[in-house]
Structure 1
Amino acid sequence: MLRLSAITPSGHAHLGNYLGAIRRWASEGGRDDLYFVSDLHAMTTAHNPAKLRSLAREQLAVLIAAGVPEETVFVQSDLARELGALTWVLECTASYGEAARMTQFKEKGVGRGGVRLSLLTYPVLMAADILLQGAAEVPVGEDQRQHVELARALARRFNGTYGEVFRVPEATLPPAAARVRDLTDPSRKMSKSTRDTAGTLFVLDEPEALRRKIRKAVTDSGEEVTYDPDGRPGVSNLLDILAGCTGSAPRDLAADYSSNGQLKEAVAEAVVATLAPVRERTNRLLNDPGELERIRKAGADRAAARGEHRLRSALRLIGAG
């Protein structure tokens, strides 16, 4: 059963991405699962083309370095022709109302000047991502479930109107991930796209940079180390990070430390130990452009071949092929 997941290169990959998704893809993914760098989705707002290209390359390297099998990964834009054609087919199947009802468009686009049309239409591109590969399951958070529902609706409508081509995918909730909050503001999640990077632990940060950020992390009044996400969010965030790195329960870990400083040192060492091998392997790949390009091209060829018959059938049935 093919499951499809993606990571958008809106910034550098961070510890939350690694603990919450990438590490799990590497250790728990099935042989039919697919993972891709969704760089086209990062174009719905203003962006720097050179930076986006660099981030896509970097995130591909991080996936491989983390142990995600290279035969399961690809970069979305390498299928731009296939996805562009299928997106148009699906846009000719969708209604404006369906796209305009998407929550993210209403939150980010309605009533604002200079909004790119792609912010309205990218859920149809996401449907093309899913349907081209024949994905049976798409693990997503609640904020993306609506987009998978659109893919389901478009697959059923196309199949019913023109002929059976697409598998109707299911949205599934991924396993509970480690909670990783911003070190300077535990009320918000750690983010790839934050402007203030002081609270974000990036996968490619040098060990001393990781230690420095953790030592400066916001904690709460008092030195007692207790796990209380509501009452003591700063200390609880550090315990959640330590738990994610060590596999222990955060409440159990709290009893091992008598001060915030002692906890921070333990967290720093655990994070450095967790990320060091991934950072080293990623840098080796980035410094070997030939090898990374080989992996990328092979992934693109496999992804294109998997979807070729669906695209060809869809074009023929809708009258374009």
Structure 2
Amino acid sequence: MADALADSTSDASLERTRLRSEQIEAQIDVDPSRFRVLTGDRPTGNLHLGHYFGTLTNRVALQNRGVETWVLVADYQVITDRDAVGEIQDRVLSLVADYLAIGLDPQRTTIFAHSAVPALNQLMLPFLSLVTDSELRRNPTVKAEYEATGGRPMSGLLLTYPVHQAADILFCKANLVPVGKDQLPHLEQARVIASRFDTRYGRAHADEPVFRAPEALLSAATNLLGTDGQKMSKSKGNTIEIGMDADTTAKRLKKAVTDSDRTISYEPGRRPEVSNLVLLAALATGRDPRDVAAEIGDGGGGTLKRVVTEAVNEHFAPIRARRAELVADPGYLRQVLAEGNARANAVAEETLTEVRTAMGMVYG
């Protein structure tokens, strides 16, 4: 009974979030200046088509709608599990190249790195005083990461991962965070910290709290499977990267899993692998997946793979050309990041001053 009640409450909460998200979408159309978005990625490898169709296109759309957009390169979050992290600097620059190639404009979108913004990370200290050990351990991401280690002791940075994410959101006073439903607990943690800070420590200015409560822009993100029909993952080698050349893309798609039925249909529940390829072709061409499937008809898996390959390579050709130019000019990538870091530092220092003022820790 308790579990059923919890599920019901969760469903009701999700529905409220969905309705509020729809209201926010309408408000963006009326006055985008009301919102500041914070989003980002961990630089654990090159971004792939799952990232592109799942979240990146939405970031560009928000930017182009006039919403102030902040994109975090979460380099500190790469080291949460203490494993070998590889060439972080190369991965960071690769991530910036992906961002710029797909249409993020550094004049309108602030692109910055965790490690370059000390005041952001300093917020971790007061924020940690506002949460309990049990709250952190209940966080779904922390639980999943811990289970994935096979019982190995958890690093302190991994345990406090939700607090670091709260600092990411709150340092720049973001009031909108694009998330899927699985990420809502992280956003709720940030909202709780913002409220508890106001209750415990007070305000820098009497008329408003230091931190405004961020809201969710609930994503209807498209979930693409990998070429093997499993969850798309950089570690499994089943992805197609944004920056892959046309030949490599064709080779990856040629090996993609289908089934024995020659008649192509879009039925995600019954034929997930075939439907995934149909969906990819549809996304790349801006068409309905059922129309794509009907057009291929009884052409079988070979025709399907050819259609998908042509659609993907045509869609990404200009993006890949632009990305190649960017990668060839690392000085420009560093400049973009340096300028974004400078903007982030200015805002973070201002926020930290407000925090110190509210806490009575300004001494001179």
Q: Does 1:178 align with 2:217?
A: no
CA distance in 2, matches of 1:178, 1:109: 27
Instruction: Give unpaired runs (5+ residues) of structure 2.
Output: 1-34, 203-208
The answer (yes or no) to whether the contact 1:134–1:307 under 8 Å persists in 2 is no
CA distance in 2, matches of 1:57, 1:263: 35
Counterpart of 1:119 in structure 2 is: 158
CA distance in 2, matches of 1:102, 1:177: 22
- How high is the TM-score relative to the length of structure 2? 0.82
CA distance in 2, matches of 1:135, 1:6: 13
SS of the counterpart of 2:87?
helix
- Larger deviation: 271-280 or 211-220? 271-280
Q: Does 1:38 align with 2:38?
A: no
Show the 5 A alignment for 1:210-249: 210-249=249-288
Give deviations 1:144-201, integer Å, cap 9, x for gaps.
1101111101101111222221111112312x233311111x2x33123x2x31x210
Give deviations 1:58-86, integer Å, cap 9, x for gaps.
11111011111113132332444112211
SS of the counterpart of 1:166?
coil
The answer (yes or no) to whether the contact 1:178–1:244 under 8 Å persists in 2 is no
Give deviations 1:41-67, integer Å, cap 9, x for gaps.
222124444422211111111101111
Q: CA deviation at 1:10?
A: 2.1
Q: Does 1:63 align with 2:99?
A: yes
The answer (yes or no) to whether the contact 2:62–2:69 under 8 Å persists in 1 is no
The answer (yes or no) to whether the contact 2:45–2:91 under 8 Å persists in 1 is yes
Counterpart of 1:281 in structure 2 is: 322
Counterpart of 1:99 in structure 2 is: 136
CA distance in 2, matches of 1:179, 1:129: 25
Counterpart of 1:290 in structure 2 is: 331
Percent identity reads 34
CA distance in 1, matches of 2:157, 2:215: 24
Q: CA deviation at 1:283?
A: 2.2
Q: Does 1:23 align with 2:74?
A: no
CA distance in 1, matches of 2:222, 2:137: 33
Counterpart of 2:45 in structure 1 is: 11
SS of the counterpart of 1:255?
helix
Q: CA deviation at 1:290?
A: 1.6
Q: For this pair of structures, how many residues does the alignment match?
A: 315
Counterpart of 2:17 in structure 1 is: none
Superposed CA RMSD: 1.7
Q: CA deviation at 1:106?
A: 2.1
Amino acid at match of 2:222: A
CA distance in 2, matches of 1:98, 1:312: 28
CA distance in 1, matches of 2:274, 2:110: 36
SS of the counterpart of 1:171?
strand
CA distance in 2, matches of 1:274, 1:46: 38
Show the 5 A alignment for 1:130-279: 130-163=169-202, 164-174=209-219, 176-184=220-228, 186=229, 188-192=230-234, 194=235, 196-197=236-237, 199-257=238-296, 258-279=299-320
Amino acid at match of 2:145: K
Give deviations 1:94-138, integer Å, cap 9, x for gaps.
222221221222232267123211111011010000000101111
SS of the counterpart of 1:293?
helix
- Larger deviation: 129-138 or 63-72? 63-72
Amino acid at match of 2:55: A
Counterpart of 2:123 in structure 1 is: 86
